[in-house]
């Protein structure tokens, strides 16, 4: 029945990125979102004092070198990105964002805004939802930084861009977001924001949190530079 009405077999809605299902869905985009839900949790919090990113790293073997698993990536001095889903896809998007940041600086002799980087990344992700022979990026990004004020954006596989005061991506998103809604205040310090994010991970992750499977970074409104914490500094937040 579906084949005769629409000229496409039911399986085609599942396989082709360019074909909408009769109820208006793009299944490949939805599958990409499922890949994000299976990824390790990452959290971003923007407060008046600055913005912080806290990311959990899934280390599946004690033979893995923890430093080889990156979850927080610098884009510019004042902008960083964390991801959940297919991290290989995230690295590709980060490379594009870095080139955009440098191109903007060379062209206009000023640092690029966080929103411009987020919009550029989302535009590329959206393009990958409308052409045959390619697949959507199986990753969501939290793009954080400080320009005129602290900013936090989420980029979804569909290319949707949303600004947040606090947000999480990956596994246990629903539970983490509930904790953020309960404890978030714009007047929090960066240190307090990091503690809330770490506490949310402790409550939702089955694994024990240690410096090896955590990454924490922040940028303050005063110096507008993104800083990634070392293992000793992370250990202080885990106590």
What domains are defined for the chain? 41-238 (3.60.20.10)
Confidence of residue 3 (pLDDT cuts 50, 70, 90): very low
* CA 97/CA 217 separation, integer angstroms: 18
For residue 204, give both structure tokens.
């939702």
Please tell me the number of Cα atoms within 13 Å of 16 on its side-chain side: 11
* CA 123/CA 126 separation, integer angstroms: 5
Q: Which long-range contacts (CB under 8 A, 24 or more apart) does 67-70 make?
A: 70/215
pLDDT tens-digit series, residues 61-110: 888 888 888 999 999 999 999 999 999 999 999 999 999 999 999 999 99
Angle at 190 between CA 189 and CA 195, to 5 degrees: 100
3-state helix, strand and coil shares in percent for the chain, rounded to the nearest 5: 40, 25, 35
Highest mean pLDDT among 21-25, 56-60, 64-68: 56-60
Mean pLDDT across the stretch 8-22? 67
Mean pLDDT across the stretch 14-22? 75
State yes or no: pLDDT of 112 exceeds 80: yes
- As a residue count, the chain comes to 239
């Amino acid at each position: 029945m579906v084949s005769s009405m629409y000229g496409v077999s039911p399986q085609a809605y599942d396989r082709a990125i360019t074909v909408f299902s009769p109820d208006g869905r793009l299944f490949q985009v939805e599958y990409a979102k499922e890949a994000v839900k299976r990824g390790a949790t990452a959290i971003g919090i923007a407060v008046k004092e600055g913005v912080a990113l806290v990311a959990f790293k899934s280390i599946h073997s004690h033979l893995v070198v923890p430093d080889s698993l990156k979850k927080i990536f610098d884009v510019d001095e004042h902008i960083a990105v964390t991801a959940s889903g297919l991290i290989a896809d995230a690295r590709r998007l980060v490379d594009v964002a870095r080139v955009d940041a440098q191109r903007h600086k060379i062209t206009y002799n000023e640092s690029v805004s966080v929103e411009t980087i987020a919009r550029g990344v989302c535009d590329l992700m959206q393009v990958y939802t409308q052409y045959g022979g390619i697949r959507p990026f199986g990753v969501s990004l939290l793009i954080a930084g400080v320009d005129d004020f602290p900013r936090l954006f989420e980029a979804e596989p569909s290319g949707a861009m949303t600004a947040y005061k606090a947000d999480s991506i990956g596994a246990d998103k629903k539970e983490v977001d509930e904790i953020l809604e309960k404890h978030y205040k714009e007047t929090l310090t960066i240190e307090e924001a990091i503690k809330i994010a770490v506490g949310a991970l402790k409550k939702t992750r089955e694994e024990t949190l240690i410096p090896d499977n955590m990454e924490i970074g922040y940028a303050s409104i005063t110096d507008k530079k993104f800083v990634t914490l070392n293992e000793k500094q992370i250990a202080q937040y885990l106590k």
